[in-house]
Amino acid sequence: MTRPYGVKGRKRKHAEPKYDAEEEDQQAQQPNRTVVENDEPTPTRKRTVAENEEATPTPTPASTEDNELSGIPIAPSENNTTKPNVIFILEKASLEVAKVGKTYQLLNSDDHANFLRKNNKNPGDYRPDITHQSLLSILDSPLNKSGRLRTVYIKTEKGVLIEVKPFVRIPRTFKRFAGVMLELLQKLSISAVGKREKLLRTVKNPVTQYLPVNSRKIGLSYSSEKLVDMNDYVSTVPNNMDLVFVVGAMAHGKIETDYTEDYVAISEYPLSAAYCIAMITVAVQKKWKIL
C-alpha cells in the first residue's frame, strides 16, 4: 500500500505546478491586468499588447462582388451609332417578385415550387433563368462587343418594360442575377458601380416609341408557318436598316405582338430562346462581316 500512495503523491506534486503555470498564462493574457507578477519588466507587457494588435485583422472594404446589388460593372464597349444596329426585345419574361416568408424574392420554379402551388400557380411558368440565359447570349456575342447592339428590352408577363444597356455586365450566376432583378423591380433602376449612369431601368410602355423608324421588326416563333434560313433572310434586309428581333422568353407558348412586320421560324424544331438568339447573332455577324 505504500508504493501506490507514493506514486499518487508524486502525481499530485507534478499536477500542482502544471496547474499554476496554466493559470499564470491565462492571467498574463488578460487585457485589463495591471499587476505584474515575478517582477517582469514593463516592455514585455507592451510587446504583448502590440502582438495582440497585429494579430487582430483590420476591417477591409467590401469587394465589388459582394456589393453587386448596389451597382454592376460596365463592359468596355460603346454603341456604334453611325452604322445600322440591332435591338432585341424579350417578350413575356417571367420576372415576378413576391413575399415568401419574411423576405421578397424573385419567383422561380426550383426554389418556390411549393409556394406557387399553394397560391394556385403553375411552377413551370416561372422561369426567370430563360431571361438570364438570353441576356448572356446577347451581351456575350461579338455583335455586342463590336458596338452594333443598340439596346435590349425586356417585357415581363405582368407588362413591365425594362431597358438593358448593351455595355452592362450581367452576373454570370443565376443567384446574383435574381438579386439584381429583385432590386431592379423594387427600385426601378440600377446604376453602374461608382457612377450615376443607369444600366438597367424600367421605362414606360409601349416599346414601339423607342424603336428606330427605319427598322425591320421581326418576330420569331416555332409556331410560325414561314420557315426561313436565317443567313438568307437577313441578307435580304437593306444594309442601312436597323434590325429588331422579338423573341419569347417564356417556357412555352407563343408571342403575339402588333408591331412586328414579319413573323418567322428559323428551325423545324423548337429551340430555346438562348439558342435562337445565338443563331440570329451569328447570321447578322456574317451579314455585317463581324468576326
Query: What is the rounded CA–CA span in Å between residue 143 and residue 172?
Result: 19
Q: How far does CA 59 lie from the centroid of its chain?
A: 26
**Domain map of the chain by residue range?**
2-55, 73-287
Q: What is the pLDDT of residue 34?
A: 40
CB of 156 closer than 8 Å to CB of 91: no
Stated as kind and residue range, the H or E segment containing 104 is strand 103-106
**Which has the closest alpha carbon to 170: 119, 125, 134, 126?**
134
Stated as kind and residue range, the H or E segment containing 246 is strand 242-248
Is pLDDT at 69 greater than 80 in this prediction? Answer: no
Per-residue DSSP letter, 158:
T
Q: Which CATH number fits domain 73-287: 3.40.1280.10, 3.30.470.20, 1.10.260.40, 3.40.980.10?
A: 3.40.1280.10
Q: How many Cα neighbours within 13 Å face the side chain of 282?
A: 11
Query: Where does the chain have alpha helices with state H?
Result: 2-28, 42-55, 113-118, 128-139, 142-145, 174-187, 230-235, 273-287
pTM of the model: 0.73
**Which residues have a Cβ under 8 Å from the Cβ of 6 and sit 6 or more positions away?**
none
The three cell numbers locating residue 176? 446574383
Query: What is the rounded CA–CA span in Å between residue 288 and residue 281?
Result: 10
Between 23-27, 70-74, 103-107, 194-198, the lowest mean confidence (pLDDT) is in: 23-27
Question: What DSSP letter does each residue of 217-243 carry, written as one string?
Answer: EEEE-TT-S-B--HHHHHHTS-TTSEE
Percent of the chain with pLDDT over 70: 72
Average pLDDT over residues 9-38: 46
CB of 138 closer than 8 Å to CB of 153: no
Average pLDDT over residues 242-265: 92
Q: What is the pLDDT of residue 107?
A: 93
Helix (H, G, I), strand (E, B) or coil at 46: helix
Residue pLDDT, tens place only, 127-145 = 999 999 999 999 999 999 9
Residue pLDDT, tens place only, 38-64 = 444 444 444 444 444 444 444 444 333
